[in-house]
């Protein structure tokens, strides 16, 4: 059952589209106490065994207990264990124990989830203003609660079929030739590939919707040529529009008043990749339609997919921020000068100590002012959105920017190509955006711990509606290693978005750059063999408001060990995955909540199978192998390897698993 409560004057976020019409009056304090005197605070006493699920793209475990999380969309490339905010704001949690309660705090500014951090047995959710909707869901199990929540937030985005293929990306591909070389590297080594991503360097001076004509002399022809090789090019779009005379997107936006404004009505300027930019006011429906329509410029040149970046929105600095920094530096310079002048009255040794102290403090204060330049909360208070003619300060709706940038594109796609699915995913998001696109989990690192973080985020994202998700395989920051990439790809085989992406300046990370390329060929081949299954399960999850990835506890709610298993996932209705995420090991321990069939895709193309009993097992999985576990009595479809999704030959379909099992295959030609 879903109940909706209203506090104060909430902002309409459009996260919920099929919720209860009416707000309930009587609130049962058994579901947690609420105070609204000093902002909003929800307080709940936890039992020792209560598990907290949810929060979508958040740090740490599947069970979120024992830490503090803040929904405050942040461009932070250091996803270390202490971080409380990442790129998304997914304010849905499930308290699961003797009772199962779901809570969605529909509030678009910063909101804190203290889940047993201040006090181990206390859950507290608080935000500065008591203006929000609270949705309270009660159900039979955590899984039931998650599905009820998914019903009220509307159907999840479905990407085109090719987007279930493998994609290669790198920040640093500059020219058509760079991209052709990547395609060649894959095709020559017979490693399947469907997409090559174009990062910011394809643009002319980082201007959205432009293509550098020197580096891509005949762009539409180039797109067509790649497409004829079954490779789609997927360009990036950034949030900021470059301020430049003659750039029509800038000129139109300024003229129509479609950019975010300062309090005095002038367009707010922030420096990002293009230099000074304005942010399209995507919370204003007219501005949103205007911005979205611009994607047509690339679609008309043959482009069929996009990734939206920098939409927290990320800010390098503002004019105001630079002024503050300069003032800080000047203040200190003056201070030191004055001290020098008044030197006669001060004992020489005392002056020296004081000067030294100040000299030491100077860099740290300047450093502080410098650090505060980037993504500064001060800047987020410096601009406004026009919502139905009312000026709303950005920080009060901060978490909706990425959502609405992506919505802008998706709403436009419905007009530009109503019968076509276009690939679209975003870095920043809020619940509701799941109807318009997917997400990638941003700038992770080539760390073993980030394979596990990737795995843990997946079911939590699914609970919040985001089904088309994945991480930068191999790691974005830092230099990857061959074994790390192989192990991470073996997890990526199962994530709907399977993309290898790396940062500028890091070691080359394309699969064909490493020794024994066959190993990469084999891991990615397994993905393509599984696509009929992965696609079917994705479609079922999207159509039935279900989860593609589930924590084990959702399927085995009475099994204490299953509930506590944080490094295995259920995928669809047939399989469990248990990827290896440790360096220098030849296998791993795995827990089976019931009898299952272990299936291992061996490099010679054969599949090793073994029925294993309920309980703990050690399974051998080499660097060039992919393992999965088929639930008792189930089977999955398999096809022969193809070089691209389009080339998959369904007549090669065979079955893997328990004989005689039923399976519903979902096929279409989208």
All residues at 6 or more sequence positions from 184 whose CB lies less than 8 Å from its CB, including other chains: none
Residue 268 DSSP label: P
**Binder among 171, 276, 370, 663 for ligand MIG (CB under 6 A):** 171
Shortest CB 503 distance to ligand MIG, Å:
6
Which of residues 117 and 171 has its CB atom nearest to ligand MIG in the complex? 171
Which of residues 317 and 332 has its CB atom nearest to ligand MIG in the complex? 317
All residues at 6 or more sequence positions from 425 whose CB lies less than 8 Å from its CB, including other chains: 307, 308, 406, 437, 438, 439, 440, 468, 469, 497
Shortest CB 427 distance to ligand MIG, Å:
6
User: Is 402 among the residues that bind ligand MIG (CB under 6 A)?
Assistant: no
User: Is 571 among the residues that bind ligand MIG (CB under 6 A)?
Assistant: no
Which of residues 369 and 503 has its CB atom nearest to ligand MIG in the complex? 503
What is each CA distance from 266 to 178, 254, 256, 394, in whole angstroms? 41, 10, 13, 15
Which of residues 409 and 630 has its CB atom nearest to ligand MIG in the complex? 409
Shortest CB 318 distance to ligand MIG, Å:
16
Shortest CB 261 distance to ligand MIG, Å:
25
The answer to whether 597 touches 574, Cβ cutoff 8 Å, is: no
Shortest CB 522 distance to ligand MIG, Å:
27
Shortest CB 74 distance to ligand MIG, Å:
12
User: Is 208 among the residues that bind ligand MIG (CB under 6 A)?
Assistant: no
**Binder among 14, 199, 208, 510 for ligand MIG (CB under 6 A):** 199
Q: Which two tokens stand for residue 51?
A: 């598990």
Tally of CA atoms within 13 A in the half-sphere of 236 that contains its CB: 26
Residue appearing with tokens 């369904």:
650
Which candidate, 338, 543, 579, 350, places its Cα nearest to that of 456?
579
Pattern 503-522, ligand MIG, x by CB under 6 A? --------------------
Shortest CB 379 distance to ligand MIG, Å:
16
User: Is 443 among the residues that bind ligand MIG (CB under 6 A)?
Assistant: yes
Q: Which of residues 92-151 bind ligand MIG (CB under 6 A)?
A: none
Bridge partners of 549, per DSSP, are 571
Shortest CB 113 distance to ligand MIG, Å:
24
Shortest CB 270 distance to ligand MIG, Å:
13
Which of residues 171 and 447 has its CB atom nearest to ligand MIG in the complex? 171
Which of residues 284 and 399 has its CB atom nearest to ligand MIG in the complex? 399
Which of residues 16 and 310 has its CB atom nearest to ligand MIG in the complex? 310
User: Is 442 among the residues that bind ligand MIG (CB under 6 A)?
Assistant: yes
Which of residues 440 and 554 has its CB atom nearest to ligand MIG in the complex? 440
Strands (E), 58-150: 67-71, 88-89, 92-96, 100-106, 111-115, 122-127, 132-139
DSSP result, 384-443: EEEETTEEEEGGGSGGGHHHHHHHHHHHHHHHH-TTS--EEEESSEETTGGGT-EEE--S
Which of residues 443 and 546 has its CB atom nearest to ligand MIG in the complex? 443
Residue appearing with tokens 């009993």:
613
The answer to whether 96 touches 478, Cβ cutoff 8 Å, is: no
Shortest CB 229 distance to ligand MIG, Å:
24
**Binder among 200, 439, 457, 656 for ligand MIG (CB under 6 A):** 200
Residue appearing with tokens 């079911």:
459
**Binder among 65, 427, 456, 487 for ligand MIG (CB under 6 A):** 427
Dist. CA 54–CA 554, nearest whole Å: 12
# residues near ligand MIG by CB under 6 A: 10
Dist. CA 557–CA 545, nearest whole Å: 20
Which of residues 403 and 533 has its CB atom nearest to ligand MIG in the complex? 403
For the packed helices 285-293 and 401-416, what is the interaxial angle rounded to 10 degrees? 60
Query: Nearest to ligand MIG by Cβ — which residue?
Result: 171
At residue 435, φ and ψ (nearest 5 deg) are -80, -20
**Binder among 309, 312, 537, 574 for ligand MIG (CB under 6 A):** 309
Q: Torsion-angle region of residue 230: left (phi > 0), alpha (psi -120 to 50) or beta?
A: left
Shortest CB 435 distance to ligand MIG, Å:
22
CB-based burial of residue 38 (10 Å sphere; 0-12 exposed, 13-18 middle, 19+ buried)?
A: exposed
Residue numbers at the binding site for ligand MIG (CB under 6 A): 171, 199-200, 236, 309-310, 427, 442-443, 501
């Amino acid at each position: 059952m879903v109940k909706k409560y209203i506090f104060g004057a909430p902002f309409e976020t459009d996260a919920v589209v099929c919720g209860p019409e009416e707000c309930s009056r009587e609130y049962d304090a058994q579901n947690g106490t609420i105070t609204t005197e000093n902002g909003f605070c929800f307080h709940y006493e936890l039992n020792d065994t209560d598990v907290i699920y949810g929060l979508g793209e958040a740090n740490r475990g599947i069970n979120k207990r024992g830490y503090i999380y803040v929904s405050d969309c942040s461009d932070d490339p250091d996803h270390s264990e202490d971080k409380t905010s990442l790129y998304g704001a997914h304010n849905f949690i499930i308290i699961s124990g003797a009772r199962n309660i779901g809570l969605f705090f529909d509030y678009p500014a910063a909101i804190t989830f203290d889940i047993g951090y201040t006090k181990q047995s206390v859950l507290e959710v608080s935000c500065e203003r008591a203006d929000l909707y609270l949705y309270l869901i009660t159900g039979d199990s955590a899984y039931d609660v998650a599905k009820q929540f998914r019903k009220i937030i509307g159907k999840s985005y479905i990407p085109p079929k090719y987007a279930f293929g493998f994609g290669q990306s790198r920040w640093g591909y500059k020219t058509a030739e760079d991209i052709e070389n990547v395609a060649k590297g894959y095709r020559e080594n017979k490693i399947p590939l469907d997409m090559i991503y174009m990062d910011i360097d394809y643009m002319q001076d980082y201007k959205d919707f432009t293509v550098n004509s020197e580096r891509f002399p005949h762009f539409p022809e180039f797109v067509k040529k790649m497409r004829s090789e079954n490779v789609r090019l997927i360009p990036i779009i950034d949030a900021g529009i470059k301020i430049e005379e003659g750039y029509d997107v800038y000129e139109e936006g300024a003229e129509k008043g479609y950019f975010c404004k300062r309090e005095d009505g002038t367009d707010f300027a922030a420096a990002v990749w293009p230099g000074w930019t304005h942010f399209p006011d995507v919370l204003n429906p007219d501005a949103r339609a205007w911005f979205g329509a611009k994607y047509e410029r690339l679609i008309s040149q043959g482009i069929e997919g996009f990734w939206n970046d920098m939409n927290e929105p990320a800010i390098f600095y503002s004019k105001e921020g630079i002024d503050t920094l300069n003032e800080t530096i000047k203040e200190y310079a003056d201070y030191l000068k004055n001290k020098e002048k008044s030197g006669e009255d001060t004992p020489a040794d005392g002056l020296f100590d004081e000067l030294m102290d100040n000299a030491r403090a100077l860099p740290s204060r300047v450093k502080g002012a410098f650090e505060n330049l980037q993504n500064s909360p001060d800047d987020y208070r410096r601009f406004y959105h026009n919502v139905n003619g009312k000026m709303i300060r950005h920080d009060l709706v901060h978490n909706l920017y990425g959502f609405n940038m992506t919505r802008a594109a998706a709403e436009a796609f419905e007009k530009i190509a109503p019968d076509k699915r276009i690939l679209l995913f975003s870095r920043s998001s809020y619940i509701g955006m799941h109807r318009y696109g997917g997400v990638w989990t941003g700038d992770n690192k080539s760390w073993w711990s980030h394979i596990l973080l990737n795995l843990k985020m997946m079911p939590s994202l699914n609970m919040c509606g985001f089904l088309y998700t994945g991480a930068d395989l191999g790691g974005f920051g830092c230099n990857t290693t061959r074994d790390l990439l192989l192990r991470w790809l073996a997890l990526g085989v199962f994530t709907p978005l399977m993309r290898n992406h790396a940062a500028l300046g890091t070691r080359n990370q394309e699969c064909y750059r490493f020794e024994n390329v066959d190993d990469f060929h084999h891991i990615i081949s397994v993905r393509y063999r599984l696509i009929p299954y992965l696609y079917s399960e994705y479609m079922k999850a999207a159509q039935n408001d279900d989860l593609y990835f589930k924590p084990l506890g959702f399927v085995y709610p009475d099994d204490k060990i299953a509930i506590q298993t944080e490094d295995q996932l259920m995928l669809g209705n047939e399989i469990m995955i248990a990827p290896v995420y440790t360096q220098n090991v030849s296998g791993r321990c795995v827990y089976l909540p019931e009898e299952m069939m272990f299936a291992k895709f061996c490099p010679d193309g054969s599949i090793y199978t073994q029925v294993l009993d309920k309980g703990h097992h050690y399974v051998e999985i080499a660097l060039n192998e992919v393992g999965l576990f088929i639930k008792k009595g189930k089977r999955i479809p398999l096809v022969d390897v193809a070089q691209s999704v389009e080339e998959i030959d369904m007549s090669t379909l065979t079955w893997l698993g328990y004989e005689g099992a039923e399976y519903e295959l979902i096929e279409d030609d989208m």
